[in-house]
Chains A and B, each alone.
Chain A
Amino acid sequence: MRTAFITDIHANREALEAVLDDIDTEGVDRIVCLGDIVGYGPDPVAAVDIVAGLADRGAIIIKGNHDHAVDAGWHSMSENAARAMKWTAARLGPAEKTFLADLPLGHREGDALFVHASAHNPESWPYVLEAHDAAQSFAATDARLIFSGHTHVPALFHTLIGTLATGKMLTFRPVADKPVPLSGIRRYHAVIGAVGQPRDRDSRACWGLWDDGAGELTWRRVPYDVEATVAKVQAAGLPDRLWMRLLTGD
């Protein structure tokens, strides 16, 4: 089965549409969204409506911390994120708010777990940025494969299992569009990069293509009309940092 992972859309309609076009061209069996449909970006209503449409057609959608904050509040967020959340909450209607509030924190399927941040305390949204973060995530589940988003930085953490286990956690920084083989003797925590706000110095939108038959995972990168999104962020009066980082991808 070929699965497309999208995550951290952050109300970036141009990036989301470019990614969905690329997914369509590539041809997949299903889409899994790992959360953060809204926050930061200028098109929260459109983003929720598009993702809800995907859900109607069978996509699995997981809740992210920004989706959660619409209902639960943004008191623990950074200043820019909180300002954007306040702006976002004022624009979403009851239907969008209900859709976001009803999303699950995770989804388990065979030996794979889909979650926004980490299998470890998912409700407190820890970042899986380094090997020891991934080790905590592995310790919290018996799933062999964990797919997450949240950091906006593509990464693959892996460790040998069973009689081969060495306890060492290895870190790989994926190269755009190059399939990475996943083998049966390892556990993997794959962090998919952001659709709508990349932070790995590559401004292109990111999505993940998982082909479990071939045993391969690819971090795909897609160019989109960044300037159009930037203009919308500026017109909305959102913090400058939020449009600047779209241009630089950091």
Chain B
Amino acid sequence: MLPRDLAPGAAVDGFVLKERIAVGGMGAIWSVEHPDHSGPLVMKLPFLGAGADVSTIIGYETEAMILRRLSGRHVPAFVAAGDLAVLPYIVMERVSGTPLDERLRLGPMAVEEVARVGARIAAAVEDIHRQHVVHLDLKTGNVILLERGAVLIDFGLARHDELPDLFAEESDLPMGSPATISPEQLVGDRTQPASDIFALGCVLYEMATGEPPFGEPVSLAGQKRRLFAPPRPPRSLDRKVPRWMQEIILKCLEVEAGRRYASAGQLLFDLRHPDQVPLTERADRAGQEGFTGRIRGWLGGRRAEQMPPQRKVPIARRISTAPVVMAAVDLARGADPLANEVRLHVRRVLDAEEGARLACVTVLKTKLVGDDDTPDEAGRSAYLARLIALKDWARTLDVPEERVSFHVLEAVNPGDAILDYASHNRVDHIVMGARAASALRRHLGSVSSHVVAEALCSVTVVRLKESDASE
């Protein structure tokens, strides 16, 4: 039976079709059940036959190959795939949530929501990049929002850097969606994680303004305009979009991949810390681009078109070379020798990791406070004094302004505060100090051992070298 004619109750390799959820020109999506698999499932079935596009079946082959290797809460769990030579299909977890395109039909989002949802999508993108995969077809229809975070669907155009690229050389036309395809994809480069950053910039733009930045041009020539013509700055469409948000969006939409965020993690960081976004001329671009803007766009486009093929760097390594490094420094006793030693080690990490972003964090210990307490004047001045001390501590590190940020966390338990901060901001590496061992510290447990035990990332613990007292 042809997939087009299947009816509820029919079985495909043991999967019983229940309800047709969606149908389009290329295929259908069914909810299915199987005695060996619990939980709601969906089956994607293509319509193949005379005149069917080869790229449809390559898309199934690609999605089955890549989804099978992805895990975690930001992708649908893979269940099964049909034999491509007999009947291609893919069965996966049914992700029940709100598709972002459906949400946007209600109109653009408030800035806070753009930042919150955008950060969740950035977390999902960072997660798949870490697993060696570039999506290459991010768009509002491929993002589903639910409690556990953003889930990315449709890996039919994706690329895994340890597996064959089934679209490379196979298609003479660029593969992607008109609204979000990146400049480098338009000139045939399917290797860059930055393509997902560009697409995410298009999604953020639409979330904030209600319109995609480049429209949805059907023709290749129309799509290629984005190599030369910069989009209208979001603030020229809606003054409610703050300058920091425009800065973030336009940085994602840079024509040259190297000028965008170096990783989805760094983009997430800016979306979570609007007050720390370093503003450049992007924040103030207004209305139609002037002559210099057009020249800049034209030059960028020329560069993108003439770019030699990028040196092949594994996708996951590209991510790890643009890490978020967190320096957790104890300044309760001022910039003491241990704080200076921590700075020395931070310097070494930054020297080894070109493109790293540094988050300087210190914890201001507070007593347990009730919900009704409002910050008093004394608390405010303690906070400011600590922030000044933190900036002074970092001064000699000489990190460029756009790559460093400062955070004073007010918390009862410093270890928990550092851990929360690190996981919330997808920190890749924590550098922190440890005081010399003492009987009391062994009894109470040290902040550093707490962090080492529970951190989800690498932790470098710095200690002042001392001579053994028993010598």
Interface residues of A (CB under 8 A from B): 156, 158, 160, 162, 164, 166, 168, 170-172, 175, 178, 180-181, 183-185
Contact = CB atoms under 8 A, between A and B. Distances in A.
B164 A158 contact: yes
B61 A185 contact: yes
Interface of B: 54, 57-58, 61, 65, 83-86, 161-166, 168-170
B54 A183 contact: no
Contacts of B58: 160
Nearest to A165: B54
B164 A168 contact: no
Contact of A164 (B57, B162, B163, B168): B57
Nearest to B61: A183
Interface of chain B: mostly helix, strand, loop or mixed = loop
A158 B58 CA distance: 13
B84 A181 contact: no
Contacts of B164: 156, 158, 170, 172, 180
Contacts of A185: 57, 61, 84-85
A177 B170 CA distance: 26
A184 B170 contact: no
Contact of B85 (A158, A180, A181, A184): A184
A187 B65 CA distance: 17
A18 B86 CA distance: 41
Contacts of A162: 85
Nearest to B54: A164
Contacts of A168: 169-170
Contacts of B163: 172, 178, 180-181
A173 to B, nearest CB: 9
B169 A170 contact: yes
21 contacts: A156-B164, A160-B58, A160-B170, A164-B54, A164-B57, A166-B54, A166-B170, A168-B169, A168-B170, A170-B164, A170-B165, A170-B168, A170-B169, A172-B163, A172-B165, A175-B162, A178-B162, A180-B163, A183-B85, A184-B84, A185-B61
A181 B161 CA distance: 14
Nearest to A171: B169
Nearest to A158: B164
Nearest to A178: B162
A241 B292 CA distance: 57
A75 B83 CA distance: 50
A175 B57 CA distance: 25
